[in-house]
A and B are shown apart, each in its own frame.
Chain A
Amino acid sequence: MSRVDGYGRIDRSRTLTFTFDGEQYAGHPGDTLASALLANGVRRVGTSVKLDRPRGITAAWSEDPTGLVQVEEPFPEPMLLATTVDLVDGLVARGLGGRGRLAEVPDTARYDRRYTHCETLVIGAGPAGLLAARTAARRGDRVVLVDDRPAAGGSLLGTERICGRSAFDFVADTVAELRADPDVRILPRTTAFGHYDDGFVLALERRTDHLAQPPRDVSRQRVWRIRAGHVVVATGAHERPIVVEDNDRPGIMLAASARDLLHRYGVLVGREIVVFTTDDAAYDAAADLERAGARVTVVDPRPGAGGSATHHARVVGTSATGSEDGAVTAVTLDDGTVLPCDALLLSGGWNPTAHLFSHVRGALRYDAELGAFRPGEPLDGGTVVGAANGTFDLAGCLAEGRGETPEPVARRTHVLWRTEGEPARQFVDLQRDSTVADIARAVASGMRSVEHVKRYTTIGTAHDQGKTSGVIASGITAELLGVPVESLGTTTFRPPYTPVAFAALAGRQRGRLYDPERTTALHAWHVEAGAVFEDVGQWKRARYYPRPGEDMEAAVLRECAAARTGVGILDGSTLGKIDVQGPDAGVLLDRIYTNMMSSLKPGRVRYGVMCGVDGMVIDDGTVLRIDDERFLVYTTTGGAAPILDHLEEWLQTEWPELRVSLTSVTEQWATFPVVGPRSRDVIGAFAPHVDVSNAAFPFMSWLDTEVDGVPVRLARISFSGELAWEVSVDGWHAAAVWRRLLDLGAPHGITPYGTETMHVLRAEKGYPIIGQDTDGTVTPQDLGTEWAVSKKKPDFVGRRSFARPANLDPLRKQLVGLLPVDPDLKLPEGSQIVELTDALPPPPVPMLGHVTSSYRSAALGRTFALALVKGGHARIGERLTVPVDGALVPVEVTGSVLFDPEGTRRDGEPSVR
């Protein structure tokens, strides 16, 4: 056991049991997995990813490059750092060889996000951060203080004195003052991992992992989305090792980390310790460790540094002779001395943790005195204070926290990236097994940029993102190139600062809340009726209503037959609807639609096509003229929002002089097409006071009426070629009207049908679906809807493009029908189309187009398809080939209208007219 009495903030009165690599151990509340392992003498945590070398704990917190574990219990999670895993009773973990494994059981924990706003966000609750938070709070700011450790204090270990008092008393008093302020929010165990524009910071709060009994309804992790007027980066510094040969063995770690482990957890990392340093701070560590009972030898190449016991030499290698766990047993100095030891502590100076400054494009400047990159310019909307700013003395940190400029303090860091030795065993990035030899290879290959060296060697690309290795890699690269470090710079820090689980980023946005499910007013009815739903954008639409024993094909054939021979009813409420109102409403619509809308009479309906300026079809639908100054525009389901935006864009940015206003009424109106030769009977019964004869209620007309006092709009519109009415009613009465129509239709066998049947019915008539039969490269002429393109209007959006040579090319892809020669063969949608052949030519095979829609038709008694085919209109009557699953399927090109091309059915079957 390497636990020493009198040190640490762990609760020794309670014991926790945990399992590592199958062995049971004991630890205490307040331990991390790493400290508990070290306390139990477990120094080898895993093996390295490429070379399979034993690896241990090399740093005490999130900068550790080596101590990766797989946690199995209480919560399975791969690739966590043992140094940041809170020890809980029953914890089960094992060491990793560089790669983890995703859990095979679903993650049942909750994750969420939380937005908050403040005037001042302070990141880091060390001495500088605490004073910055206190200063802002006393000023009256709303303050958020985040810190990644369980408790405030940062680098303070309790041995320091602030204003004549113990540092911990100072921390406790400051935290108490902040806690008492209702405008201050303190978030411990919270890592600010990304800093973005305009004071936006993302932080991950670990809320329950440290609890013995995590509350079920509390999220395990929470992503805070903090919008701050001012961001104070007080994130401290990371100690930097010195690269020596065989520097990757267990038992080799950073000097300050060993000190941290002693003071936080009462863990003494060795009894016979060698400290190799080029910086004064390591002497504090050496003294503390000695006081705690270790024998410490300091090796410091700086002349005059240290006391008489200091070896003025350099460590050039380590050995692990006779060590069962591969841990260090001795170090070799450049003067030939061999020092036996059970721990080697390294300290080559300190790197300001300036990641969150870099995220917002803050430029770092190389400071040759520190051998480190530090913030080199003021930050717009933020400040960097304390060690993160390169201010390493406590007095200076406190001053910067208060917003003052500290007295400069000279440092005597001797910059030493590495000592002499075998480059292939001098590890720079211990997690990636990347060595000085890899950097040398990169440089020899001609790489001159640290960004290239990083990608070639993978240094800095592991979980720790090079917190301890990045600057060293720059330094060694510069040495090898013979250029100053400042001319190379360092690699760019990017979020996240520490790894973040995808589950935390997803938050509550999974399962049913992954994406909004939009539903119509009839949704409950559809569910009860056993509908199978399909996703149409965010909408849940009833696709078909299978009866017992029916598959989709059988259900759709039945639903289609009902609409063609009796009467069917569809929930068409998802269609977009826009109220267009104002004296210039007609002018606006004339400029937007390809056809004339201003000539439409109130009470009438017109089909229209809309194009972009490039002349390509973007939407289609019907337009009802309500009165002289008012129209109701129907868009496709998917077009509801984009077409409203499109209209607003033209209206607001090009034609603000037009007196028109646009209002979405998509959910205001529920719309039910009642379709089929028997629809007249149903509508006649539904609105008995309305004359539904063809003469009184002709095709493409509409009227408003009331049924039982409820306003109802009836329109004779057909998307199937059959006699049909669209019944529209406000959303409040939608379900009641739907049920009424079903009741009244029952004697006629009214059959609810879904979107699949709607598609078949419209395809039989050659009506395109924008977005299915078109793809943004299709003109009205390509669709065969030039009849809806006005020749009288001087201009409308897209008109000029129709005259472009590309739009006049006779080989443009055009919409046609396809009839497979085998009437039972349904072509897969998306199939490619080639010239008629019984053997494909060698690739590349010239493609003529593709199948856009394909169905089995009850009315035609066969399969059919719609397709976009090069020069398709001129190919009608020809045969082409569609390769399907290796077979070459012959198909005949037809016009796109396959059913009732004369349009005899839209006024009803002659016998029932």
Chain B
Amino acid sequence: MQLIHCPWCGPREEVEFHYGGQAGVAYPADPAVLSDEEWARYVFVRDNPKGRFEERWSHSAGCRRWFTAVRDTVTYRFER
């Protein structure tokens, strides 16, 4: 049961948060020009590193804000 630091509300229990996967995967500027493979990569493929990982979290039971956090996938620890 981790404590996750909401940038607005401060540390809260992990149950108040919703995980949003890898951060920084931008919606393509013009999906229509992408090949099927490029589009499928955007829709389905994400990094899965061992170690530092930039993730999106939403403080869904609190201020409802999305934020980006860096977590180590080996230790689960968030960088602060």
Are A800 and B1 in contact, with the CB atoms below 8 A? no
**What A residues does B66 contact at CB under 8 A?**
648-649, 652-653
Q: How far is the CB of A16 from chain B (nearest CB, A)?
A: 40
Are A800 and B58 in contact, with the CB atoms below 8 A? no
Q: Which residue of A lies closest to B14 (CB)?
A: A197
Are A795 and B31 in contact, with the CB atoms below 8 A? yes
CB of B45 within 8 Å of the partner chain: no
CB of A198 within 8 Å of the partner chain: yes
The size class of the interface chain B forms with chain A is 20 to 34
Of A227, A645, A800, which one neighbours B18 at CB under 8 angstroms? A645
Are A800 and B34 in contact, with the CB atoms below 8 A? yes
Q: Which residue of A lies closest to B76 (CB)?
A: A197
Of A225, A653, A800, A805, which one neighbours B31 at CB under 8 angstroms? A800
**What A residues does B18 contact at CB under 8 A?**
645
**What A residues does B60 contact at CB under 8 A?**
645
Of A200, A361, A795, which one neighbours B1 at CB under 8 angstroms? A200
CB of B46 within 8 Å of the partner chain: no
**What B residues does A800 contact at CB under 8 A?**
31-32, 34, 39
**What B residues does A805 contact at CB under 8 A?**
36
Q: What CA separation (Å) do A801 and B20 show in the bound complex?
A: 21
A649-B66, A795-B31 known; A801 vs B2 contact (CB < 8 Å) = no
Of A198, A653, A799, which one neighbours B56 at CB under 8 angstroms? A653
A645-B18, A649-B58, A799-B31 known; A654 vs B1 contact (CB < 8 Å) = no
**What A residues does B32 contact at CB under 8 A?**
794-795, 799-800
User: Which of A197, A225, A649, A803 has the most chain B CB atoms inside 10 A of its CB?
Assistant: A197
Are B39 and A197 in contact, with the CB atoms below 8 A? no
Chain A 774-813 against B: per-residue CB contact (8 Å), 1 yes, 0 no? 0000000000000000000011000111011100000000
Q: Report the number of A-B residue pairs with Cβ-Cβ less than 8 Å.
A: 53
CB of B3 within 8 Å of the partner chain: yes
The size class of the interface chain A forms with chain B is 20 to 34
Are B3 and A198 in contact, with the CB atoms below 8 A? yes
Are B3 and A227 in contact, with the CB atoms below 8 A? yes
Q: What CA separation (Å) do A326 and B14 show in the bound complex?
A: 53
Are B39 and A654 in contact, with the CB atoms below 8 A? no
Chain B 34-72 against A: per-residue CB contact (8 Å), 1 yes, 0 no? 101001101110000000000010101000111000000
CB of A151 within 8 Å of the partner chain: no
CB of B8 within 8 Å of the partner chain: no
Q: What CA separation (Å) do A200 and B11 show in the bound complex?
A: 13
Chain A 192-204 against B: per-residue CB contact (8 Å), 1 yes, 0 no? 0000111010000
Are B58 and A645 in contact, with the CB atoms below 8 A? yes
**What A residues does B56 contact at CB under 8 A?**
653
CB of A614 within 8 Å of the partner chain: yes
**What A residues does B27 contact at CB under 8 A?**
654
User: Which of A200, A225, A800, A804 has the most chain B CB atoms inside 10 A of its CB?
Assistant: A800
**What B residues does A196 contact at CB under 8 A?**
1-2
Are B40 and A648 in contact, with the CB atoms below 8 A? no
CB of A613 within 8 Å of the partner chain: yes
Q: What CA separation (Å) do A652 and B64 show in the bound complex?
A: 10
Residues of chain A from 645 to 697 with CB closer than 8 A to chain B in the complex: 645, 648-649, 652-654
Are B1 and A197 in contact, with the CB atoms below 8 A? yes
Q: How far is the CB of A379 from chain B (nearest CB, A)?
A: 13
Q: How far is the CB of A503 from chain B (nearest CB, A)?
A: 20
Q: What CA separation (Å) do A787 and B58 show in the bound complex?
A: 34
Q: Which residue of A lies closest to B60 (CB)?
A: A645
**What B residues does A653 contact at CB under 8 A?**
20, 56, 66
Q: What CA separation (Å) do A198 and B80 show in the bound complex?
A: 13
Are A804 and B36 in contact, with the CB atoms below 8 A? yes
Are B1 and A804 in contact, with the CB atoms below 8 A? no
Q: How far is the CB of B62 from chain A (nearest CB, A)?
A: 13
**What A residues does B43 contact at CB under 8 A?**
613-614, 801
Are B2 and A197 in contact, with the CB atoms below 8 A? yes
Q: What CA separation (Å) do A361 and B31 show in the bound complex?
A: 45
Q: What CA separation (Å) do A197 and B15 show in the bound complex?
A: 13
**What B residues does A804 contact at CB under 8 A?**
36, 39-40
Residues of chain A from 335 to 376 with CB closer than 8 A to chain B in the complex: 361
Of B2, B20, B34, B77, which one neighbours A649 at CB under 8 angstroms? B20
**What A residues does B40 contact at CB under 8 A?**
804
Are B1 and A648 in contact, with the CB atoms below 8 A? no
**What B residues does A197 contact at CB under 8 A?**
1-3, 76-77
User: Which of B27, B42, B77 has the most chain A CB atoms inside 10 A of its CB?
Assistant: B27
Q: What CA separation (Å) do A452 and B16 show in the bound complex?
A: 37
**What A residues does B30 contact at CB under 8 A?**
795
A to B CB contacts below 8 Å, 13 in the list? A196-B1, A197-B1, A197-B76, A198-B1, A198-B3, A200-B2, A200-B3, A648-B58, A649-B66, A652-B65, A653-B66, A654-B26, A801-B43
Q: Which residues of A contact B (CB under 8 A)?
A: 196-198, 200, 225, 227, 361, 613-614, 645, 648-649, 652-654, 794-795, 799-801, 803-805
In the A-B complex, the 3 residue pairs with the closest CB atoms: A800-B31, A198-B3, A197-B2
18 further A-B contacts with Cβ under 8 Å, apart from A645-B60, A652-B66, A795-B32, are A198-B1, A200-B3, A227-B3, A361-B75, A645-B58, A649-B20, A649-B58, A653-B56, A653-B66, A654-B26, A794-B32, A800-B32, A800-B39, A801-B39, A801-B43, A803-B36, A804-B40, A805-B36
